[in-house]
Amino acid sequence: MLKAMLSEAWLAMGANRLRTALTMLGMVIGVGAVVIMMAIGQGAQYAVQQTISTMGSNLFIVLSGSFTTAGVRSGSAGAPTLNVADGAAIAELDGVSNVAPTHQGTRQLVYGSQNWSSQVIGTTPEYLDARAWNIVNGAGFGDSDVRSATRVALIGKTVAQNLFGDDDPVGKTMRIQQNPFMVIGVLGSKGQNLDGRDQDDTVIIPLSTAQRKVFGTPFLGSVRMIMVQADSAENMPRVMESVTSLLRQRHRLREGMPDDFFMRNLSAAAESEAETTRTMSILLGAIASISLLVGGIGIMNIMLVSVTERTREIGIRMAIGARQKDILTQFLLEAVMISFAGCLLGLLLGLAIALGINAFTGMVVVISGSAALVAFAVAATVGIFFGWYPARKAAQLDPIEALRYQ
Amino acid sequence: MAEPVIRVVGLGKSYATAAGLFPALKGVDLEVRPGEYIAIMGPSGSGKSTFMNLLGCLDTPSIGDYYLAGENVAHMAKDALAILRNRTLGFVFQGFNLLPRMSLQDNVALPLVYAGADKESRRAAARELLDKVGLGKYAESLPNRISGGQQQRVAIARALVNKPRLILADEPTGNLDSHTSEEIMRLFGELNAEGITIVLVTHEPDIAAHAKRQVKFLDGQIVSDHLTGQAA
């Protein structure tokens, strides 16, 4: 019986092709818009998530304080107020999973006839853990390298390409500021950070080597920055508070004296960026669903016209034994079929356009099966919701009146 | 004597109008036995159409009882009436009332769809009846490809497809010329000869003359009920 009804619904749709096609177009545009907007929105979210995950999670940095000489203020990390011992003390605190004192700056690198300017970071092995940075070729340095200030370096992908070209950099010796450094490993690619800076344009060397050979320090053991990783996002505020009180105590700051260091929550900035894209993607989806709603109203409109036009047919069907349920099913089925067919076409159109956007603009789009499922569920709901009223109207016609209708 | 197909007792129907209740049918009694061929006659407004709608289970009476095949259907619910129309009755209308988008075969088979028959038995039954009314070769055509008389034959085939106890024909020749009308009436005569019970509404005496019994309506009441020369 359902099969017979399906084929009848198909016939009815075919009876007025242009009208059916235009009704369907409403759904096609609606579903297509939802698919495209979701693909773009999720793509943007994915891109931001990706960038955030390259930064490392639950991170904050402690910068040494500023100083003032003759009214000129140095800005953060100008004064040598932090040292390696502060880092070691922070590492003892509860909820801290990694601590990496760092000293960084831009230096000229030389290998053979090539040279390249890059960011040089002097730090401890924990830095790589905190930032979840892996080594794809060669190996990292250990605590013994930091203790004995060996001249070894890890280089990012960009540095490897610019300095070594097609050669394998591992085992080669390059120079940073006249000092020879042996490349012992190549870092995995991280791409751009949120500011758009190339994170792969980096050289990482042991902290002690950086301080003694590359940057020099005002006092032995002083660092400009300490990167701290909390063990969870929930613990971040508590860890930041305990680091503040620990450092104030260690620096012998009395009540009322300002901190001689700064703290920056790196994760918070990233989270707010993620929140922004999430909001944007919800907004895009909401706007697109309005067109889906309009498509549904189009279906209802046409079904109402169809019921009026086919009043006599409904009368005949009732006379030969169609129950109210049968008439209801018939018209509902038509509405759902139009909406499903429209949804399917819309899905294909949306996918094609989303892939086109990706191909021509390089914008990241994410096409998820769940988005397609949601679109389908919504289309079915729209079909039933907007098909219900006309179908019920048809089913409740009086057979005598309907038969008399001209 | 066999149990009546139709037994109507004190059947009445009133319609609400602006001028108050209008009694279209005022307490009618009638019995129709199996194999009868009855013509219901009367001028317009005599209540014969109202009576026909009640007999066809398209409407429910205000008062009185209606036993169809022994069952009182006067106060049945809409869906139960739909099932009765489907299983027990066959309709033939003045305007043929075929569905224009369906082939003749599908039109004839349509009542079987609502009866829940499978596709193969629907097809076979529709074919058999189209052959019976002489239109088997047009089975795949659409209704607008054939003449009015042929369309009415298809409608009769559709009325027969569920093997009903009773055929109700409402002015079946009203849209046909006299020659074609004769053909249709001959078909009804043949069906009745096979034992099918027929109730026919008409206002034309020469059409009514084909029936075996004539019932005349006037002002919502039966004014005469007699056998014709056709009754053997």
Residue B1 inside a domain? The answer is no
- A383 pLDDT exceeds 90? no
Checking phi first, is residue B121 left (phi over 0); if not, alpha (psi -120 to 50) or beta?
Answer: alpha
Please report the pLDDT score of residue A77 as a whole number.
56
Q: What is the pTM for the complete model shown?
A: 0.71
In angstroms, the Cα distances linking A39 to A25, A290, A364 are 21, 17, 8
A323 touching B (Cβ < 8 Å): yes
Residue B162 inside a domain? The answer is yes
Q: Which residue of A has its CA nearest to B103?
A: A11
Helix (H) or strand (E) holding B179: helix B178-193
User: Which pairing describes strands B166-170 and B89-92: parallel, antiparallel, or unpaired?
Assistant: parallel
Record: contact B101-A11, CB cut-off 8 A = yes
- Quick one: how far is CA A48 from the chain centroid? 4
- B28 pLDDT exceeds 90? yes
User: Which pairing describes strands A261-265 and A173-176: parallel, antiparallel, or unpaired?
Assistant: unpaired
CATH number of the domain encompassing residue B149: 3.40.50.300
Shortest CA gap A353–chain B (Å):
38
Residues of B whose CB is below 8 A from A4: 113, 119, 122
B51 touching A (Cβ < 8 Å): no
Record: contact B97-A312, CB cut-off 8 A = yes
Mean pLDDT of all residues in A296-320: 91
Mean pLDDT of all residues in B11-31: 90
B162 touching A (Cβ < 8 Å): yes
Please report the pLDDT score of residue B11 as a whole number.
92
Record: contact B158-A320, CB cut-off 8 A = yes
- A375 pLDDT exceeds 80? no
Question: What average pLDDT is seen over chain B?
Answer: 91
Q: Which of B:77-136 have CB within 8 Å of A?
A: 78-79, 82-83, 85-87, 91, 93, 97, 99, 101-102, 110-111, 113-116, 119, 122
Higher pLDDT, A362 or B83: B83
Please report the pLDDT score of residue B125 as a whole number.
94
Quick one: DSSP state of residue B3? P
Q: Which tokens in the block code for residue B91? A: 């309709």
Mean pLDDT of all residues in A384-399: 92
Residue B155 inside a domain? The answer is yes
- Report percent pLDDT > 90 for chain A: 19
In this structure, the number of other CB atoms found within 10 A of the CB of residue A89 comes to 16
Give me the residue from A11, A324, A399 closest to B58, CB to CB: A399
* Count of pairs with CB atoms under 8 A, one residue in A, one in B: 65
Record: contact A321-B158, CB cut-off 8 A = no
Please report the pLDDT score of residue B232 as a whole number.
59
Please report the pLDDT score of residue A352 as a whole number.
92
B142 touching A (Cβ < 8 Å): no
Domain that holds residue B47: 6-231
pLDDT band for A362, please (50, 70, 90 cuts). confident
Computed on alpha carbons and rounded to an integer, the radius of gyration of chain B in Å comes to 18
A317 touching B (Cβ < 8 Å): yes
A316 touching B (Cβ < 8 Å): yes
Please report the pLDDT score of residue B105 as a whole number.
94
In chain B, the number of structural domains is 1
Give the tens place of pLDDT for each residue, A237-249. Answer: 899 999 999 988 8
- Quick one: how far is CA A271 from the chain centroid? 10
Residue B229 sits at the vertex; the CA angle it makes with B227 and B232, to the nearest 5 degrees, is: 85
Please report the pLDDT score of residue A10 as a whole number.
81
Mean pLDDT of all residues in A45-51: 80
The three-state DSSP-derived secondary structure of chain A is CHHHHHHHHHHHHHHCHHHHHHHHHHHHHHHHHHHHHHHHHHHHHHHHHHHHHHHCCCEEEEEECCCEECCEECCCCCCCCEEHHHHHHHHCCCCEEEEEEEEEEEEEEEECCEEEEEEEEEECCHHHHHCCCCEEEECCCCHHHHHHCCCEEEECHHHHHHHHCCCCCCCCEEEECCEEEEEEEEECCCCECCCCCECCCEEEEEHHHHHHHHHCCCCCCEECEEEEEECCCCCHHHHHHHHHHHHHHHCCCCCCCCCCEEEEEHHHHHHHHHHHHHHHHHHHHHHHHHHHHHHHHHHHHHHHHHHHHCHHHHHHHHHCCCCHHHHHHHHHHHHHHHHHHHHHHHHHHHHHHHHHHHHHHCCCCCCCHHHHHHHHHHHHHHHHHHHHHHHHHHHCCCHHHHHHCC
Residue B156 inside a domain? The answer is yes
In angstroms, the Cα distances linking B85 to A176, B25, B112 are 98, 22, 12
CA atoms within 13 A on the CB side of B91: 29
- A338 pLDDT exceeds 80? yes
Please report the pLDDT score of residue A67 as a whole number.
62
Q: Which residue of A has its CA nearest to B89?
A: A320
Residue B118 inside a domain? The answer is yes
